[in-house]
């Protein structure tokens, strides 16, 4: 158990960086690269076998089958032609190969005869100075893992979610790598879920900011409806987050609870910890969705109240203007025989009466909160 005791410290030494310039997200295949293979290495007794030149997958397979150990091949967005040779070399199932090449799969765990096929969705928080209705909050990618008795293959899609730093950390702990491909699978699962936790904390800050601004009294300068647009955008980003988190919970529970030939028993118990962290993130994401619904409803209620106040003000001024309109309408008929038409004080009396009535209506409406 000593070789497993520090497992959490090895695969999770620190929180995942949220910035694109952090070490976790800057390693992607060069557009001019001739191959999709990012790294190919053979591990024996937990240590990487050093060679004079970079190993090809075919050479790595021959080395493993001759001397033992396992091979870890990392690929980034391979084409069908690039992946077909590796797939045939390891006898990967055609359906899993098709999913790995085409991407856009939901998180899942599939068992084939001699391998496990696992799909993880990676989530990266997009830094922004000001959250608006067009801000992108999260970016998603995919990591597909093929786990066999003597091989481990990762296929990444998207410009973030590099596993290079994780590979280096695992290589620094040969006792852990000696457990074989299942140790790498656990490390990747833990790495992905740690990314979820970091993104959830950042999204929580955005939601708190929007909530504070929505309920801030007397906030001026923001156009009406801008808060609703930001809330709706956050809901869309949270929905993408939920699509990555929720389907993964069942595969993690299977890996932690059901005995599998390809999963080392000493490693399996640590999948339970990953499943617990994932369940916590799922609860947090579901809470985000409910909270954003409440904030959106409150924002719409505030807009309705503001519209009602506007209508009350318009109605109040219309009532005030109705008095001089009525008086002027009556005396504007210009009949010679109207009562008091030729009265010397009629004009000032009518003006004074109109002003007094208008001021009285204005005062009454203001006292009742209509103005």
Q: What are the chain's domains?
A: 34-303 (3.30.460.20), 305-368 (1.20.58.340)
Q: Which pLDDT band, with edges at 50, 70 and 90, does 130 fall under?
A: low
The arithmetic mean of pLDDT across residues 204-229, rounded, is: 70
146 pairs with which residues across the strands?
117, 153
Residue 243: name the closest of 96, 156, 121 by CA.
121
Note the pTM of the prediction, 2 decimals: 0.73
Does 101 score more than 70 pLDDT? yes
| pLDDT of the residue at 26 | 32
Question: Per-residue pLDDT tens for 289-330?
Answer: 888 888 888 777 777 777 777 787 777 778 778 777 777 776
- Helix ranges (H only) for the chain are 2-5, 7-11, 57-67, 80-90, 94-102, 164-171, 174-177, 181-214, 226-245, 249-257, 265-331, 346-367
Please give the DSSP secondary-structure letter assigned to residue 252. H
| pLDDT of the residue at 342 | 67
Does 75 score more than 50 pLDDT? yes
Sign of torsion over alpha carbons 300, 305, 308, 313: negative
Residue 42: name the closest of 20, 22, 59, 25 by CA.
59
Tell me how crowded residue 336 is: count the other CB atoms within 10 A of its CB: 6
The arithmetic mean of pLDDT across residues 348-361, rounded, is: 78
Which of 44-58, 291-305, 334-348 comes out lowest in average pLDDT? 334-348
Q: Dihedrals φ, ψ of 32, to 5°?
A: -95, 5
């Amino acid at each position: 158990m000593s070789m497993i005791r520090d497992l959490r410290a090895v695969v999770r030494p620190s929180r995942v960086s949220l910035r694109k310039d952090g070490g976790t997200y800057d390693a992607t295949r060069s557009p001019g690269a001739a191959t999709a293979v990012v790294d190919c290495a053979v591990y024996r007794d937990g240590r990487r076998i050093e060679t004079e030149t970079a190993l090809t997958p075919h050479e790595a397979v021959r080395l493993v089958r001759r001397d033992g150990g396992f091979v870890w091949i990392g690929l980034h967005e391979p084409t069908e032609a690039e992946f077909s040779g590796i797939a045939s070399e390891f006898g990967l199932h055609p359906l899993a190969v098709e999913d790995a090449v085409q991407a856009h799969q939901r998180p899942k765990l599939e068992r084939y005869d001699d391998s496990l096929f696992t799909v993880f969705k990676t989530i990266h928080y997009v830094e922004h100075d000001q959250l608006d209705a067009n801000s992108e909050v999260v970016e998603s990618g995919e990591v597909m893992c093929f786990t066999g008795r003597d091989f481990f293959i990762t296929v990444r899609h998207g410009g973030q979610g590099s596993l290079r730093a994780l590979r280096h950390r695992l290589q620094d702990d040969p006792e852990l790598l000696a457990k074989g491909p299942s140790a790498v699978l656990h490390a990747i699962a833990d790495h992905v879920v740690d990314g979820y936790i970091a993104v959830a904390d950042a999204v929580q800050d955005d939601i708190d900011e929007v909530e504070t601004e929505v309920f801030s009294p007397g906030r001026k300068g923001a156009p009406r409806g801008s808060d609703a647009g930001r809330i709706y955008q956050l809901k869309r980003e949270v929905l993408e987050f939920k699509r990555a988190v929720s389907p993964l919970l069942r595969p993690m529970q299977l890996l932690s609870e059901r005995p599998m030939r390809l999963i080392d028993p000493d490693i399996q118990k640590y999948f339970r910890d990953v499943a617990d962290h994932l369940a916590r993130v799922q609860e947090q994401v579901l809470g985000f969705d409910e909270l954003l619904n409440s904030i959106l409803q409150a924002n719409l209620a505030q807009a309705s109240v503001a519209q009602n106040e506007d209508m009350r003000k318009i109605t109040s001024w219309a009532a005030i203007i109705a008095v001089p309109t009525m008086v002027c309408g009556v005396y504007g008929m210009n009949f010679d025989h109207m009562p008091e038409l030729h009265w010397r004080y009629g004009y000032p009396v009518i003006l004074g009466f109109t002003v007094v009535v208008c001021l009285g209506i204005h005062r009454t409406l203001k006292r009742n909160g209509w103005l």
